Amino acid sequence: MRDMIFLILLLLNVTLAAKIHLDLAWLQGSIKNRSRRDISCREGQAYAHDSICCLNCPAGTYVKKACFSDLEKGVCEPCEFDTYTEHGNGLRMCLPCTKCRLVVVCCLCTFIPSVDQETTEKCTSTQNTHCKCKQGSFCLPDQACEVCKKCSKCKEDEEMVKSCTVSSNTVCRKRSSMGSSISVTFIVVLPLIPVMICVVSILYWKWSKPSKTSITSRSPRKIVKINMGDRDEEREKRQNVHNSKMDESSQFQSFLEQNCVDRESSRRLVPLNGEESLKKTFDLFEEMDVHYHNRFFRLIGLSDNVIKSTESLFPEDRVYELLKNWMEKEGMKADFNNLIEALTYLDQRLSAENIIAKAISNGYFKYEDE
């Protein structure tokens, strides 16, 4: 009986020892597996692979095969054409190079892809492409730049504070009342200076000439000559007063009449598609200096009320709207050549030549003798 009890106790001890051993083995395996799952490689220097840390491949390459031992480098392969990696990495493939953005524009009702940005630095195996908006356009750095925006132009009553850059729009501000009053005074007074000089010279000449008694003591021929001089002087004075009262529109008409022979002998431009060709050229007149807008539209016959009614518009929209009013007013007499002559009269020859070149290259006009 005692032997039986001893055997039972012995079996119980063996069973308990085996269970404790299995529990310890399971615990050790669990700890080991957890450490493998929670493995953390040094950032920027290594990457995790199969519970070990492999050293990063250098910039310009990618991981073709990972390492087999901890803290060793696997097989690194150079990036192919048009791909890159800028830093040490554990990537399985290189990144594709960025392409500077294209946008689709409508040119004569045909959609054509156009470059919205220009490349500043080309893509290499260790550097991505660097792009920026083309000149005359911008993108704000704190906004998503889906399309480069066109730079704004300052209005007539504004002055530029900061020019447009690739990352900021034009900055304008209202002209100060003092500056505008000075400019108006300057514009009004400057043309009067030659007239004032002429009047002062005439008065000085009158006061300094001999008296009437001394004139009568001379020969009749001399008296007649002096009298004729007085008449010429009066005629010249009246002509100066008349010229000062003529408005700029009348002077322009006089300019056209005096140069009619030259205009007939010069090469005239004729539209290729009638009124439609003329209307398409209105956008080209954005070339004109904004400071000459009011004078230009007065020359071609628009009233001050019509000109002032468009002051709230942007300069390019204002030019288009006023030229449309001019075309409706002139009707069949509306002529592209008259617009060019008005620019020439205002000494805006460079703008006139650029507008003519664009009108011909875009297929709106051609020379009459071609």
For residue 94, what pLDDT is reported?
Answer: 96
Contacts of 96 (CB under 8 A, 6+ apart): 82, 83
Judgement on whether residues 329 and 350 belong to the same structural domain of the protein: yes
Q: Give tens-digit pLDDT for 176-201.
A: 766 555 665 667 677 788 888 988 88
Q: Which of 129-143, 161-175, 234-248 has the lowest mean pLDDT?
A: 234-248
- Would you say residue 11 lies in a domain? no
Contact predicate 137/148, CB 8 Å: yes
Judgement on whether residues 239 and 338 belong to the same structural domain of the protein: no
pLDDT at residue 40 tops 60: yes
- Would you say residue 186 lies in a domain? no
Q: What's the average model confidence in pLDDT over 228-241?
A: 55
- Would you say residue 16 lies in a domain? no
Q: Nearest Cα to 215, choosing from 235, 232, 229, 234? A: 229
- Would you say residue 9 lies in a domain? no
For residue 135, what pLDDT is reported?
Answer: 87
What is the bridge-based pairing of β-strands 52-55 and 72-73?
Answer: parallel
Judgement on whether residues 255 and 358 belong to the same structural domain of the protein: yes
Judgement on whether residues 151 and 212 belong to the same structural domain of the protein: no
Judgement on whether residues 361 and 266 belong to the same structural domain of the protein: yes
* Domain CATH code at residue 160: 2.10.50
Judgement on whether residues 260 and 234 belong to the same structural domain of the protein: no
* CA within 13 Å, CB half, 87: 6
More confident residue, 299 or 176: 299
Q: What's the average model confidence in pLDDT over 30-58?
A: 75
Structural domain that includes position 110: 102-174
More confident residue, 157 or 108: 157
* Assessment of whether the complete model's pTM goes beyond 0.75: no
Q: Which of 27-36, 221-230, 276-285, 313-322 has the lowest mean pLDDT?
A: 221-230
Judgement on whether residues 272 and 287 belong to the same structural domain of the protein: yes
Judgement on whether residues 125 and 143 belong to the same structural domain of the protein: yes
Judgement on whether residues 231 and 284 belong to the same structural domain of the protein: no
For residue 231, what pLDDT is reported?
Answer: 55
Judgement on whether residues 167 and 125 belong to the same structural domain of the protein: yes
Q: Which of 82-96, 112-126, 159-173 has the lowest mean pLDDT?
A: 112-126
pLDDT at residue 347 tops 80: yes
Q: Which of 76-85, 116-125, 174-183, 185-194 has the lowest mean pLDDT?
A: 174-183
Amino acid letter at 37?
Answer: R
- Would you say residue 183 lies in a domain? no
| Cα angle for residues 265, 270, 275 (degrees, 5° grid) | 145
For residue 26, what pLDDT is reported?
Answer: 55
Judgement on whether residues 360 and 255 belong to the same structural domain of the protein: yes
* Domain CATH code at residue 309: 1.10.533.10
The domain boundary, picked from 139, 174, 209, lies at 174
Tell the residue number behind the tokens 């990618």, with chain if given: 62
For residue 122, what pLDDT is reported?
Answer: 93
More confident residue, 115 or 285: 285
Judgement on whether residues 300 and 338 belong to the same structural domain of the protein: yes
Quote the number of domains for the chain. 4
- Would you say residue 92 lies in a domain? yes
- Would you say residue 5 lies in a domain? no
Q: What's the average model confidence in pLDDT over 129-148?
A: 85
Q: Give tens-digit pLDDT for 301-310.
A: 999 999 999 9
More confident residue, 264 or 212: 264
Contacts of 339 (CB under 8 A, 6+ apart): 285, 300, 323
For residue 287, what pLDDT is reported?
Answer: 86
pLDDT at residue 228 tops 60: no
pLDDT at residue 77 tops 90: yes
Please tell me the distance from the alpha carbon of residue 315 to that of residue 1, in angstroms, as a whole number.
119
Classify residue 226 by burial, with Cβ atoms within 10 Å: 0-12, 13-18, 19+: middle
